[in-house]
């Protein structure tokens, strides 16, 4: 397994919608393993393919079960149910050093393909639900800073040297 480069905001791939994976093959499995290695090396808990420069709808997430960390790969994930609402501080490997409270549903159901191409359905809550939502947003070109207040977002964008667009 090889570590891959994490794209840092304002890299344009972070704002593009990723392509569906038509068939799960060796390329997708290798990418997932490389993403897991990269995520863990960076002390992250989730990573989306666009964050490593690949326009594919693939995410990897850490499922913390007690003292054990289990990496899950979700291909073409689709959140089919959301319930509740909770604020929690989020960060992102593509926005190093930045964190902010973000409101997200507390419980979700997600359907995706696994590395064998089989359909899986996960009911998640707490941290796992948050990670899946955060990474799934990346597949649609959405960053957690898009979910915070305008003034705080503007300050962060300027900090990264990106152009600030006026939003009305």
Domain that holds residue 76: 12-83+106-141
Considering the candidates 28, 62, 90, 135, report the single residue annotated as catalytic: 135
Tens of pLDDT along 129-156? 999 999 999 999 999 999 999 998 888 8
Give a yes or no: residue 91 inside a domain.
Answer: no
Angle (CA) 67-72-76 rounded to 5° is: 155
Residue with tokens 């509740």: 84
Domain at 78, CATH number: 3.90.45.10
For the chain, the domain total comes to 1
> What are the CA-CA distances from residue 57 to residues 19, 45, 74, 103, 138 (Å)?
6, 17, 8, 23, 9
pTM for the structure as a whole: 0.93
Could you tell me how far CA 52 lies from the centroid of its own chain?
Answer: 11
| 5 catalytic per annotation | no
Reply yes or no on whether the pLDDT at 22 is more than 80. Answer: yes
- Using pLDDT thresholds of 50, 70 and 90, give the confidence band for residue 166: very low
Residue 89 lies in a domain: no
- With respect to residue 149, please indicate whether it lies within any of the assigned structural domains: no
In a domain, 75, yes or no: yes
């Amino acid at each position: 397994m090889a570590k891959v480069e994490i794209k840092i905001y304002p890299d344009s791939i972070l704002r593009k919608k990723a392509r569906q994976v038509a068939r799960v093959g060796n390329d997708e499995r290798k990418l997932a393993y490389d993403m897991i290695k990269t995520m863990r090396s960076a002390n992250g808990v989730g990573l989306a393919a666009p964050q490593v420069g690949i326009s594919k709808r693939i995410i990897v997430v850490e499922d913390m079960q007690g003292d054990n960390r289990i990496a899950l790969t979700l291909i073409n994930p689709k959140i089919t149910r959301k319930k509740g609402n909770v604020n929690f501080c989020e960060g992102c490997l593509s926005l190093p050093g930045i964190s902010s409270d973000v409101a997200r549903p507390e419980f979700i159901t997600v359907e995706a393909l696994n590395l064998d191409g089989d359909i899986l359905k996960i009911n998640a809550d707490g941290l796992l639900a948050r990670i899946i939502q955060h990474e799934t947003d990346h597949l649609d070109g959405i960053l957690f800073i898009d979910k915070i207040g305008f003034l705080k977002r503007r300050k962060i964008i300027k900090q990264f040297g990106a152009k600030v667009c006026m939003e009305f």
